[in-house]
Amino acid sequence: MANTAGKLLVAENGPRIAVFDATGWDTHAQEGGATGQLAQRLEGLDAVLDTLVSALQPAWKRSVIVVATEFGRTVALNGTRGTDHGTGTCALVLGGAVNGGRVIADWPGLNARALYEGRDLKPTTDLRAVFKGVLQQHYDISTRVLDDVVFPSSAGAAPIPDLLRA
C-alpha cells in the first residue's frame, strides 16, 4: 500500500495528496511497554513510513507527511493496564520539505492540576491549525479558503507558520 502510494505520488501526472487510514489503534487493555500491543502498532506505523519514504525518494525534498489521530488517550492506566479515549494528542509532520528538528507545543504538564477534566492531557493546539499550516505553505491555499471551505467555520484555528522550509 505505502509503496504503491509513493510511486503514484512521484509520478509526473499522479496525485499530490494521499490519505492512509490505519485501524486497530483503539486499544484499551494490555497496551504494554516496549513489547505490548501499542508498541507493535507503532512498529507497523514505522514500517509503513519507512516504505513510503523510500518510494518518495525522487520527490522527497518536496514531500510532507502528516501523522495524526482522531483522539488521544488518558494519561493514567485503566484497570486492564491500558488507556481509555482521551482528548489531547499529537501530530507528527515529517518530510524533506519540513522545517523540522523541533517540537511545537504549549506543554501543559502532567500534574493533576494541569490535566483536562482531571484525566487527559490538555489540548493546546487545534489539529486543524497543523493541517492549515501545511496546506497553506505547501499548496499556497489562502487563509480564507482554509477557514471557509476546507475547514468551515474554523477561523479560530490559525495556520501554524513556518512548518515548511521556504
Mean pLDDT over all residues of the chain? 93
- Mean pLDDT, range 10-34, rounded to an integer: 88
Q: Is the pLDDT of residue 147 over 90?
A: yes
Domain residue spans in the chain? 2-150
Task: Report the 10 Å Cβ neighbour count for 107.
Answer: 10
Residues 6+ apart with CB under 8 A from 102: none
Residues 6+ apart with CB under 8 A from 54: 3, 6
* Residue 69 half-sphere exposure toward CB, CA atoms < 13 A: 16
- 116 neighbors 122 (Cβ within 8 angstroms): yes
- 48 neighbors 4 (Cβ within 8 angstroms): no
- Mean pLDDT, range 19-46, rounded to an integer: 88
pLDDT, position 10? 95
